[in-house]
Structure 1
Amino acid sequence: MRMTILAVLLLVLGAAPAIAAPPSIQLAHDAEARWVSFDLTPGNQIRFHMEVNGKPATAILDTGVSVSVASAKFARTAGLRISAKSEADAIGGNVAIGWAAPRAIELGGLKRKGGRIAVADLTAMATGSATPVDMLIGSDILSCCAIDIDYDARRFRILPSGRMPFRGVSAPLSLSRGSKVYVSELTLGRQHIKPVLVDTGDGAAVTVTQSTWKKSGLKPKAVTSAVAYGLGGPIETRLTILPELHVDGLTAHNVELRIEDDMGFSTKTGTLGRIGSAFLQRYRVLLDPHAGHIVFRPGKKVDEVPIRSTSGLLVGLDRDRLRVLHVMKNSPAAHDGWQDGDTICRVDGSPIAGNGLSADTSWSAGPPGEVVKLGMCDGTKRALTLAQFY
């Protein structure tokens, strides 16, 4: 189990420059039967296989991206010519981008010909994986249609807008005026919040701005801190667990909430927060902005309580060791003087056993009162007594 929640989110500002054939999107007559299998990255994003100019690519389904993005490495491999450099806002800061004009992009029963995509350095850290993905598929491609995401079965499909393949609780969904990303609304305590980004590329559950949080009037028993990684780098947020949260007619329980700075990404995108993949994956979800709704049907994880760290160590796998990415505030690790960057080579006497992509870190959320013996990579040893702190 990996305790870090990582986020891929990029908002490209402005229209794509230079000359390109006008984009055209076609859906196959059997699009409903063309399910696309996916897995969830360690950062909670939907990762799948597709084609660009006939070449296979790994991609993230990312409704928080206004213009789809190719990695610079994949763009070179696929023979995409990069031009017209500019910048875009991302979680963690600005990123440099270029532009390219692929002939065709294909996923499931959808095929887009012409148009432009952005090109940027897509880091592995932004998905929590050992290697970066090749593409982020955003609203410029996805918003033409409805997306049926079956998280329990790990598959999605692209449908004509207006289809209703299943019944559930509906909430408003539209495209924002400027960037054309997916937006909805939610209720937090006494505060009705709109617009909020509906972002399948964000691995967290729900995020709101500091000002929005204050207006909600909620006073949870405990608040700690966490870290997220975007294309622009890391950001620190506050973190708590809410007993209840409403998305229009939907009532959700035990929701992990992040509170970000008022000068953070939500403010830059003209929203008050985000609904991310960790929340969406509790349900089967239909995203259909042209029909004006998002539909939720409870899945196997609908009543699942979020995993709480009892150590306060958010870690990532670094070859044969665990590196501390963040020490959560008011946690046992914080009280014991742990620091970001500390490296762990043994847990309870056993070496770190990773598969190159992730390692078992379930000990970091073990039962309160349990003592974990950690061997540091500098040869010292530490004992950490686990406790519930948020």
Structure 2
Amino acid sequence: MRALPFLLMIAPVPLAAVAALASASRPPAEVPVPIAARDAGTATLTPDTEARWVPFDLTPGNQIRFTMTLDGRPVTAILDTGVSYSVLGRGSPAVDATKLKPGGSATAIGGAVPIDWMPTQTLAVGGLVRTGGGVTVAQLPALATGSSTAVDLLVGRDLIGAQALDIDYENRRFRLLLSGRMPFVGSVAPLSVSPARRVYESELTLGNRRLRPVVVDTGDGSSITVSRGDWTAAGLSRLPTTTAISFGLAGSMISDLAVVPGLKLGQLVAREVETRIEPANGFSQSIGTAGRVGSGFLQNYRVLLDPGAGRMVLKPGPKAYQPPLRSTSGLLVGLVRDRLRVLHVMRGGPAAAAGWHDGDEICTINGQPIPADYPGSTLATWSVGAPGTRVTLGLCDGETRLLTLARFY
């Protein structure tokens, strides 16, 4: 939980691959638009695309948030290689209700969600312009990014998959290049777009287990996520674990959480990696994958994603060799206006031992009120403080609780 350890790493945002069409009992006018019948549009790169860096910030959920245009209108977006078809939020001003067509349903964290389809005239980001085509339309809850305000759009494989994507996490910028370009040197791992799931996929080695396919998912704020079966087969069950919570379009999911001593991703060897273990029959298993590589891991590198050339390139950044920050409080919280709401009490942590519950609300930390810029403030580091530190937490109902921090996983 490197970037914002005090907050829950809200993730993963859903895969959003169309999983099932609506029932045949719909009236003829409402028959969902099948994938094969959708206009894919035409994407082109401008001659100066290499110079067209797109600035971004990382959301509290650890995702790449930026601004682009949809039919000439500025929209906020998340760069999400784990989404097969770009998703426009139903609440976005960019939605034109007169153009919506039923789209069936999609698989997401927490279950299935109903979707629609909306044709578009142009989508533009950096040096990429797509004319024609369309977007999936679904609810995009703010919790999916860990922010108080939802974004308009998840930019998925359908828009960027034919290009090379150069993500410079250290300088908070990315750009789209012609496939085959190699703008920097780093460790290489295989990368492709799955014909079945239509998302970016690779493979990794964890313990005794070679995991494939794993989704390379920039929209997932976690580090590494694996299925329960693959975790067991990797022979790592001896490691201490706790629990964490993830949010997607269809709800939440509780996973186990551990820090593994090392893993291999192609030529790259990474040490001390935070890893989530999904429950049996969890999301990864349900879509036929072994797990995901998320932005929580990728942000430690400069990353080139080029499925057309069959490769992912990772160049270590300044934080690549730092161990992950571990919660010492056992509380995963979200910012709600002027307070912190407990979203999950981690198993085996100090907060669980002290009787904390999901939904508890914190209004002061060591006597200081929760500031509007809390996610980026120094106050937010209390949750990963040194073991033995005593923190005074003021609940919003007037109660005061003393929490002694400890290492527990």
When the two structures are superposed, what TM-score results if normalisation uses the length of structure 1?
0.96
Q: What is the 5 A alignment of 1:21-100? A: 21-74=39-92, 76=94, 81-100=99-118
SS in 2 for 1:303: coil
Question: 1:332 corresponds to which letter in structure 2?
Answer: P
SS at match of 1:361: helix
- Tell me, yes or no, if the aligned pair for 1:53 and 1:78 is still in contact at 8 Å: no
Determine which of 188, 193, 210 is the counterpart of 2:206: 188
- The answer to whether 1:9 aligns with 2:14 is yes
- 2:29 corresponds to which residue? none
Q: Does 1:372 align with 2:357?
A: no
* 1:80–1:100 contact (8 Å) kept in structure 2: no
| 3-state DSSP of counterpart to 1:310 | coil
**Counterpart residue type for residue 172 of structure 1:** P
State the alpha-carbon separation in 1 of the partners of residues 81 and 98 from structure 2.
23
SS of corresponding position for 1:211 = helix
- AA of the residue aligned to 1:10: L
Q: What is the SS of the residue equivalent to 1:131?
A: coil
Question: Number of matched residues?
Answer: 390
Unaligned runs of 5+ in 1: none
Conserved 8 A contact 1:104-1:114: yes
Q: Distance in 2 between matches of 1:371 and 1:287?
A: 44
1:109-166, Cα deviation, whole Å (9 max, x unpaired) = 1111111210011111100111110110100111111001010011111011111111
- What is the match of residue 166 of structure 1? 184
Contact 1:86 1:96 in 2 (8 A): yes
Q: Displacement, 1:369?
A: 0.5
Give 1:223-238 correspondences, 5 Å limit: 223-238=241-256
CA distance in 2, matches of 1:356, 1:243: 31
The equivalent of 1:339 in structure 2 is 357
**Amino acid of the structure 2 residue aligned with 1:17:** V
Relative to 1, partners in 2 of residues 1:21 and 1:213: Cα closer, same or farther, differing over 3 Å?
closer
Q: Are residues 205 and 321 of structure 1, via their aligned partners in 2, closer, same or farther at CA, if it must alter by over 3 Å?
A: same
Structure 1 Cα separation of the partners of residues 257 and 398 of structure 2: 33
- Structure 1 pair 205–258 and aligned structure 2 pair: CA distance change class (3 A): same
Partner Cα separation in structure 2 for residue 158 and residue 347 of structure 1: 43
Q: Whole-Å Cα distance in 2 between the matches of residues 244 and 80 of structure 1? A: 52
Out of 376, 381, 394, the position equivalent to 1:362 is 381
Q: Is the 8 A contact 1:130 1:356 kept in 2?
A: no
- Say whether residues 1:218 and 2:239 are aligned partners: no
**Superposition RMSD in Å:** 1.7
Q: Does 1:114 align with 2:138?
A: no
Q: What is the CA deviation profile of residues 328-366 of structure 1, one whole-angstrom value per residue up to 9, with x for unaligned ones?
A: 000011111111111112211222222387764211111
Q: Deviations over 1:237-274 (max 9, x none)?
A: 00011121111211001110000023221112210100
Structure 2 unaligned residues grouped into runs of 5+: 22-31
* Paired residue secondary structure (1:266): helix
Q: Distance in 2 between matches of 1:187 and 1:128?
A: 30
**Match of 1:26, as an amino acid?**
T
Alignment counterpart, residue 140 of structure 1, candidates 158, 166, 179: 158
Say if 1:167 and 1:297, in contact at 8 Å, map to a contact too.
yes
**What SS is found at the alignment partner of 2:297?**
helix
Q: CA deviation at 1:12?
A: 2.4
Question: Any idea what SS the aligned residue of 2:383 has?
Answer: helix
Which residue does the alignment assign to 1:155? 173
Does the CA-based 8 Å contact 1:189-1:218 persist in structure 2?
Answer: yes
Structure 2: distance between partners of 1:80 and 1:32: 37
Bigger drift between 226-235 and 17-26 goes to: 17-26
Residues of 1 paired with 2:400 and 2:219: CA distance?
A: 38
- Name the residue aligned to 1:301: 319
User: Equivalents in 2 of 1:296, 1:221: separation in Å?
Assistant: 27
Q: Distance in 1 between matches of 2:112 and 2:54?
A: 32
Aligned match of 1:208: 226
In structure 2, relative to structure 1, the CA distance for the partners of 1:104 and 1:356 (3 Å cut) is farther
Quick one: which amino acid aligns to residue 383 of structure 1? L
> Which piece of structure 1 moves more, 293-302 or 12-21?
12-21
**Structure 1 Cα separation of the partners of residues 155 and 341 of structure 2:** 30
Distance 1:38 1:4 in 2: 20
Indicate the larger mover: 97-106 or 349-358.
349-358
Q: Match for residue 401 of structure 2?
A: 382
1:358–1:71 distance in 2 versus 1, CA, 3 Å: farther
Give the aligned residue type for 1:278.
G
Could you tell me which residue of structure 1 aligns to residue 366 of structure 2?
Answer: 348
Quick check: 325-334 or 15-24, which moved more?
15-24
Separation of aligned partners in 1, 2:167 and 2:391: 39
